[in-house]
């Protein structure tokens, strides 16, 4: 696996069709660089609660704040980047091997996640110390 860094995780603009009835955002295959194998979403996250706190060995994910806002902290073992997602027409691409923490969820926040593979617990690195060793290999 390539040693990807936080700078390999861009915010991507989602094309939007706007008319007097409101907005329609479309994530087609040209928008994200992977085929979607799974869709899930986080909602009703209690104030002060944090999600994530792990990395994936092979999974690529695209996160969108469909409603409300939350912060994502990305770490690659060397650098870190904190972003706020608060716009349903922008998403964050998280490449494999990047540690992520999600926090500061606003009331009513909904985090949509498009994932490149089905759920596999073996793909997770859930201990930061193990993550650092993994990145140093
Ligand atoms: C990520 C952030 C944004 C499943 O059974 N299927 C699934 O597809 C997922 C994602 C989770 N689970 C089970 C595994 C755990 O027993 O649901 C429980 C909670 O999962 P986890 O603690 O990993 O949830 P988060 O919100 O901390 O992390 C999730 C994703 O796992 C992760 O890839 O980037 O959302």
Query: Which range marks the domain in which residue 108 is found?
Result: 6-136
Note the pLDDT of residue 90: 98
- Does 10 map to a domain? yes
Q: How far apart are CA 111 and CA 68, in angstroms?
A: 9
- Does 117 map to a domain? yes
Residue among 137, 4, 1 at smallest CA distance from 75 = 4
- Does 1 map to a domain? no
Mutate to test the pocket of ligand 1, among 54, 73, 100 (most ligand atoms within 8 A of CB): 54
CATH no. for residue 19? 2.60.120.10
Indicate if 54 belongs to the active site: yes
Residue among 96, 97, 85 at smallest CA distance from 41 = 85
Number of domains in the chain: 1
Report pLDDT digits (tens) over 12-44.
999 999 999 999 999 999 999 999 999 999 999
Residue among 64, 59, 108, 120 at smallest CA distance from 87 = 64
Mean pLDDT of 60-84: 98
Structure tokens of 128? 């930061």
Q: How far apart are CA 67 and CA 87, in angstroms?
A: 8
Kindly list the protein residues whose Cβ atom lies closer than 6 A to any atom of ligand 1.
38, 40, 42, 51-52, 61, 100, 102, 113, 119
- Does 15 map to a domain? yes
Enter the pTM of the model.
0.97
- Does 68 map to a domain? yes
Note the pLDDT of residue 4: 97
């Amino acid at each position: 696996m390539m040693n990807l860094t936080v700078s390999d995780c861009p915010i991507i603009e989602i094309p939007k069709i706007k008319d007097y009835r409101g907005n329609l955002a479309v994530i087609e295959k040209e928008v994200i660089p992977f085929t979607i194998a799974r869709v899930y979403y986080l909602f009703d996250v209690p104030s002060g609660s944090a999600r994530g706190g792990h990395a994936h060995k092979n999974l690529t994910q695209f996160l969108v704040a469909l409603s409300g806002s939350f912060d994502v902290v990305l770490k690659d073992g060397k650098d870190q980047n904190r972003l706020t997602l608060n716009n349903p027409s922008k998403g964050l691409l998280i490449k494999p091997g990047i540690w992520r923490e999600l926090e500061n969820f606003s009331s009513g926040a909904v985090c949509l996640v498009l994932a490149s593979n089905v759920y596999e617990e073996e793909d997770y690195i859930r201990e930061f110390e193990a993550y650092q060793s993994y990145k140093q290999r």
